[in-house]
Structure 1
Amino acid sequence: MKKSYLKYISALFIFGSNGIVASYIHLNSYEIVFLRTLIASIFLLCVFLLSKRKSEVLENKKDFLYLVALGVTTGVSWIFLYQAYAEIGVSLATLTYYCGPIIIILLSPFVFKESLNIYKILGSVVIFIGMILTNGNQCSNAGLSFGLVYGIFAALTYSILIIFAKQVKVVSGIEYTLIQLISCLITVGIYLTIKQGPYIPNLMQNIFPVLFLGIVNTGIGCCLYFSAIKELSAGSVAICGYLEPLSALLFSALLLSERLSFIQIIGAICIIGGAIFAESYKYIKLSNYQSKDSYCEIEDSCELSADKSVSK
């Protein structure tokens, strides 16, 4: 479980740097999405072929269908999200998009049969307040438009994405991510062709950041992300997922010299604190269980000693 959390959090920090890398690419958002999935798919296909691993998909057609659905949903979610970026700006689009994890938390008792305890509820509220504090200033300056609808649809498709990801039971590793990314690539490619006709990318000025975004941020990042969420509860995935926009904010401050206001710092503390609080119930439960276990061992030891005394 610790390994899964480490992979998941690493993936979130990798995804948090997407905006930094993309700022060096002089292409529109749809072209960037298409190229990152194309390069990541080629990279993972080469790795998979070189590893000479036996395909698990051929024996698990149900998983294959879920992975295709996952890839299509990922592509649609990215399309909605980037359209929201263009319409209402990054801050308001991000704030809207990250209503998706809240939807997951609310649905988890019904879809995944996971308990919804007070720690998760209060932690989610604190996290959402933190998101408003970190993005609220820019959001207040952005005019509401039809782009808000794109943001809401991006959030809804995000929640559907997690549901599909949790349904895959057998297929794992590189093959899991490869099928998902190829399905995503086809979805984005069809949309891009409809929107602006046949597409021939110009990579002469963008080759290094595009390769980095495709191989590291998409290929390796998605491998870590999707292999981890299979092992974690949907609630944990949703709650810890807020570390991605937080890391994007921190990277912007560190690497792009964007200054954080006092309110944004408080918001960042709320996001981290809310996530830790929401997940703390597991450790409290484990601690109580271990204490109870120790008490039982002491009680058993006392009873054994008493029995020996009586026998003597």
Structure 2
Amino acid sequence: MTQQNKAKISYVFALFLYGTMAVLLKYINLPIEFVALIRGIVGSLFLLILTLLTRGKLDISSIKKNFKYLLLSGMSLGINWVCLFRAFRVSTVSISILVDYMAPIFMIIISPLLFKEHLNKKKLICVFIAFIGLIMVSGVVGSDIRMINVEGLLLAAGAGLGFMGVIIFNKLMGDVSVYDKAVVQISIAALTVVPFAIKAVLETSIVWDFKSVFLSFIMGLVSTGMAYYFYFYGISGLSVQTVAVVGYVEPVITVLSSVIFLKESMSMAAMAGAVLIIGAAVSSELISGHGEDKKELNGSAI
């Protein structure tokens, strides 16, 4: 198996792990800032232990060389967590995800300028089809316009900007291993969440219960620690266009997990949208030539 195919599999697996968060969040009764903080702490500790067990130590030299981008990407990640989770609370999940996932489209537009990537017109069409599918999956079409909350839109847009920051700063990094990258970025993301968690303590009365804490721990271990290891491995070896198209599979996984585990209904339009997204993702990879595969791997820091 080629390195590039490994990167694709890792990225898709990370998206699958992310898709479990919606189900877990349904049963957690803690302020969203605390959920984000717990997942950051648990995720970073898991990755640190994994690094020490497999490699013995962190590569301090490579971390220092890339610290600027590690810091910026970690902060972007923390902002994405807080903004998106808070958007879920003040607006609908469907609208929040829809706004957040406009980020990959903007990434494709600016990728030729930032990363000198060739703008593949066929992949651009695939992204457009995937976004249409996302609109259908979200259920926004036909929903009551009065349900749209301005604060929720702004928070979701902030999450989208954080999403873009994570991709941009990871692509700009030099030679740093996925272990070091994951540990540092998740740790910085957790620190970024701390001020928001303190604000939540001052403004709300927090009731701790075992189920919420346990599920937050699982989210940190699986949906953060494990997921971001595979995520950073994947995006480091893929083009922005591939990351954008395949990334639209995540909301499909989220919806399907809600249908399976939460017994939520799924409309025919949503099913058709899911087919469009998966079809666009598969088509995007089928039209990738071998020469493009090599370009995607160029600059990979795995």
TM-score class, shorter-chain normalisation, is 0.7 to 0.9
Residues 41 and 220 of structure 2 are in contact (CA less than 8 Å); yes or no, is this contact kept in structure 1?
yes
Identical columns (%):
31
Count of aligned pairs: 287
- Please give the residue correspondences for 1:40-189 in structure 2 after superposition, counting only pairs within 5 Å: 40-137=43-140, 140-141=143-144, 142-189=147-194
Q: Is the contact made by 2:87 and 2:153 (CA closer than 8 Å) also made in structure 1?
A: yes
Q: Please tell me the residue identity of whatever aligns with 1:8.
A: Y
Unpaired runs of at least 5, structure 1: 287-312
The 8 Å contact of residues 135 and 141 in structure 2, kept in 1 or not, is answered as no
Whole-Å separation in 1 of the counterparts to 2:291 and 2:184? 38
Which range moves more in the overlay, 187-196 or 35-44?
187-196
1:100-157 deviation digits (Å, cap 9, x = unpaired): 1111111111111111122112111111111111113477232332221221222122
Residue 295 of structure 1 corresponds to none
Change in Cα spacing, 1:183 to 1:60, as seen in structure 2 (3 Å) is closer
Contact kept, 8 Å, 1:55 with 1:175, in 2: the verdict is yes
CA contact (8 A) 2:30 2:206 kept: no
* Displacement after TM superposition at 1:76 (Å): 1.0
Matched, 1:18 2:21: yes
Contact in 1 for aligned 2:33/2:200 (Cα 8 Å): no
1:280 counterpart letter in structure 2: L
CA distance in 1, matches of 2:116, 2:36: 34
Q: CA RMSD in A?
A: 2.3
Question: Which position in structure 2 is the counterpart of 1:266?
Answer: 272
Normalised TM-score (structure 1): 0.85
Q: CA deviation at 1:63?
A: 1.2
- TM-score, normalised with respect to structure 2: 0.88
Asked whether the 8 Å contact 1:16–1:247 carries over to 2, the reply is yes
Q: What is the rounded CA distance, in whole Å, between the counterparts of 2:269 and 2:290 in structure 1?
A: 31
Q: Post-superposition shift, 1:201?
A: 8.0
Secondary structure of residue in 2 paired with 1:254: helix
Q: Which moved more, 1:11-20 or 1:169-178?
A: 169-178
Map residues 208-247 of structure 1 onto 2, 5 A cutoff.
208-247=214-253
Alpha-carbon distance in structure 2 between the residues aligned to 1:44 and 1:196: 27
Taking the aligned partners of 1:163 and 1:269, their CA distance within structure 2 comes to 29
List alignment gaps of at least 5 residues for structure 2.
Answer: 293-302
Give the structure with higher Rg (CA): 1
The AA in structure 2 aligned to 1:44 is L
